[in-house]
Every structure is written in C-alpha cells, then in structure tokens.
Amino acid sequence: MEYLCGKIERYCRENHLISEGDGIVAGLSGGADSVFLLYMLSLLRERWKLRLIAVHVNHGIRGEEAQRDQEYACLFAGSLGIPFKVYKGDVPELAKGQHMTEEEAGRAFRYQCFEECRKEAGFQKIAVAHHQEDQAETILFQLLRGSSLRGLGGMRPKRGYIIRPLLGISRKEIEKALFEKKITYCQDSTNLQDTYSRNLIRNQVIPYLQREIQPAAVPHIVQAGEHLREIMEFIDMQAEQAYDRIVKKEAGKRSMQEADYVLLPNVLQREVILRIIQELCGQKKDITAVHIQMVCGLFSGGTGRKVMLPYGIQAEKSYGFLSLYTKEGMEESEGKLPYFGENIEFQKEYEIPFGEKGNCFIIFEKGGREKILGNNWKKHCTKCFDYDRMGCMPKLRFPESGDYLWINQAGRTKKLSRLFIDGKVSREQRGRTLVLAEGRHILWVPALNRCSAYYYVTEKTRKVIYAYMRNNSS
C-alpha cells in the first residue's frame, strides 16, 4: 500500500495535478475506484494541506441500489472525516430532453454537479477515479468510432479543473489495496450489463485481448495513447502558429487565402479547419473527420461551392478564399447598425464595413456645385452625387433583389449582383456590403468604388451631395 501511495503521488507531481493547499472536490460513487481515490486523497491530505469534499451523484436510475450506494458513500466519507454532499437528478428525463443517450446525459450531469460544488466551495480541482483500464477502454472506443489522432490519445491526466490521479495504476492494484485495508465498496449492477458500447469493451473485448493475444494489452494500449498525446501536443503547437498566421478573424466568421492554406501539410490543414469550427460553435461534440474532409474538399472545386456543417456553420470557397461562418454570428455583426435602412443625415459620421480594408468613416454634406474645385471631387476620398436627380433622400442599406445602377450616362444599366460577380465579391460577402440607394437604384457601392452614372454631377447640376471618406488611420 505504501508503494502504491508513492506511485500515485509521483504521478501527481509529474503531471502537476495537485498543489499544496488545494481544495479538491472528489467524485464518490461508492464503487471501488472512487472509494480508493477518496482514501488516497485522505492519506495525502495532511502532507499536501488539502481541503476535500466528497460528492455523490444519484442519477435516479437504479432505485434501491442507487440509494444503497448513496448511503454507503455518506458513511465512508464520514469515516474519513471528509465533508459529503449529494446531488440528485432524473437522468432518463435529461437524456430525452437533450436528445442524448442516458450514458452521455449521466456523464454531463455528474460533471455539472462537480463543477457546481467546486464553485460554491471556492475549490481549485475536481478529482475523478479513472484508471488504466478506463484509459484503454476509452482509446479502443475512440479507435472503433473513427476518432482523430487527438481522440486516440485517450484521457489527459489534467483537463481544466479536472484531475485524474489514478490514471497511472490498474484496477487490480486498486482492488488489491482495498482488500489489504479491508475497505468495502459497492458494485454497480449496470456495469456488468453489455447494454452500452463501453461496457462491452470493458467486459468482453479487453478480457479477450488479455486472454487470447497479449496479457499486457492494457498497459501497452495506454502507453500507445501517451505517445500519441505527445505527438498531438506538437501538432497542436504547430497548428496554433499556422492558425494565427493565415486565419483572419471577424465576428461570426473566419477566413483564409487558398494560397496560404495549400502550403500547410495535410495534418495541419485539418487541424486549422477543426480549430475554426470549434471556435465558431464553441464545442467539439458532433464534429467528425467527415466534416473536416468536406471543408478541405472545397478547395478542389470552383468558386461558390458551399457545405453545411453542424451548429448552423457554413463553409464556402470564393475567389481564392475559404470562409467559415455562422448565420447568427453574421446577422449579429451586420444587422445591428443603428442607421441601417434609414435616410442619411447630413453632418453625421457613419462607420461602415469596407471590404478587406476594414471599416471606414463617411460624412455626407449638401452644398452647391460651386464647392467643386477643379477635379478634386473625383478623388477616391470624396464622392459627389447630383441631388437634383433624387426623388427622395437616399439610404444606407444592404443589397436587395432587383438592385441596379447605371454604368454610363446613356442609361445602360447593370444588376448589382452582376457587379459583385465582376468585382469577385463572394456570395457571403455580398449580403453584408453596404450600399447607398434610392429605392432599387444604387447610387454608390463604397467597397467597390463604383457609382451610378445617373447621379454624375454635370453642368446642369445645382445641388450636390458630397460624401467624404476617411479610414481608421486618418
């Protein structure tokens, strides 16, 4: 027992799991693993000056058996002088409401309870009792479901507030130690049922591998997972550098140039795409290798190709760029302008998106034609429009169906959509490119520096609308 305690303490030091004075919430189901975890933490408590709380979660599934486990957990924690707290929930109902399996819902509920207790107590860590067999089971499960290299690395010793002090020891070592100390524990009958995939791996697959192929299958699988985690950590570092170098971040959107993307090794291409999707949706669940490949495949097609991803994310290739965006995020970033769709006001400064150049500022002013000196009004920083030809005050708005403008003073027109195509403006970008419009007639597209010839100032013009532009650095 002393040897095992030292082994666990070394593992905690090597992986920076525990610091002196830590407050730790320990999950206590009443089973062998969690009972041993709490016992080990109680042995380390004085030396590390630890503060402990044991938390038991009743899932509302196993009736009298669950109540027995709860009562035992309470007695065991009390025997060690450790505060005890119980959380109860109806996991089957949670699973239905959240469209999850009971296994998934139970896990989510447990960690929700652990985190709630941690915050209330002001503690630093949540300790759970996963051991080597659990790690081997996780790696095999991820392998069979087609996980990425990251998933094949298994569980990390530490993830956020969660620590796993027992990952370096086996189930046999745990049971032997409890037997020697005459410490009893509960048996969860559902763990013996092969209803869940993980139970089948635990009860059938791993014992078969140990019996028929390799007695040391579990430590070998765990060791392979550790090697893969080390490789993945290096890839993560490289992917982060590549992401920062080539990805442009906007509200609800990430984009990059094809020329930069294709220079990355394939493994970094996939990792950059995965990082983008995770940033946009805020989670990893339901993002598979198939989705990543769908996005990567966009580069082999033509402009305008688009794929739909989980959580409402869209990916689109357009004119040498790959963009990923959420509908909600784009609407939030582009539809909240206080002046959107309103008649312009003179002497008021407007901030508008200006393509790849960022935002620019525009002030409108009304004056006479005499203000135009020489050809200065033709410069890009100032635009002039014949106010006499306007039937109403123009508006700043986003494009609408049927928009057009004159391309010469003879009255030849062109649809705004065609102008966007000629200007190589992506389909996604078109909808959030502000225009100055009178009805369906577009006076000006600032991002393209195009004006309608109908509103050109001529010798007959008496009143003029001037638009003065400046960028952020002006």
pLDDT at 377: 47
Q: Which long-range contacts (CB under 8 A, 24 or more apart) does 371-378 make?
A: 371/464, 371/466, 372/457, 372/464, 377/457, 377/466
In order of their start, the domains of the chain are: 2-215 (3.40.50.620), 247-331 (3.30.465.60), 349-471 (no CATH)
Q: CB of 38 within 8 A of CB of 83?
A: no
Query: Quick one: pLDDT at residue 331?
Result: 53
User: Which residues, at least 6 apart from 327, have a Cβ–Cβ distance to it below 8 Å?
Assistant: 312, 314
Q: Which of 254, 447, 426, 251 is nearest to 330 (CA)?
A: 251
Q: Which helix (H) or strand (E) holds 177?
A: helix 171-180
Statement: residue 407 has pLDDT above 50: yes
Q: What is the mean pLDDT of the chain?
A: 86
d(CA 231, CA 357): 38
3-state secondary structure of 236: helix
**In this predicted model, what pLDDT tens digit does every residue of 56-75 receive, in sequence order?**
999 888 788 889 999 999 99
Alpha-carbon distances of 467 from 346, 451, 459, rounded to whole Å:
10, 12, 19
Average pLDDT value for residue range 215-228: 95
Instruction: Tell me, yes or no, if the pTM score tops 0.85.
Output: no
Burial class (CB in 10 A: 0-12, 13-18, 19+), 419: buried
Q: What is the pLDDT of residue 252?
A: 83
Q: Is it the case that residue 345 has pLDDT exceeding 90?
A: no
Is the pLDDT at 339 greater than 60? The verdict is no
**How do strand 84-88 and strand 313-318 relate by DSSP bridges?**
unpaired
Which has the closest alpha carbon to 269: 299, 248, 229?
Answer: 299
Tokens of 188: 């969860």
Is a pLDDT exceeding 90 seen at residue 374? no
For 5-17, the pLDDT digits (tens) are 889 999 999 999 9
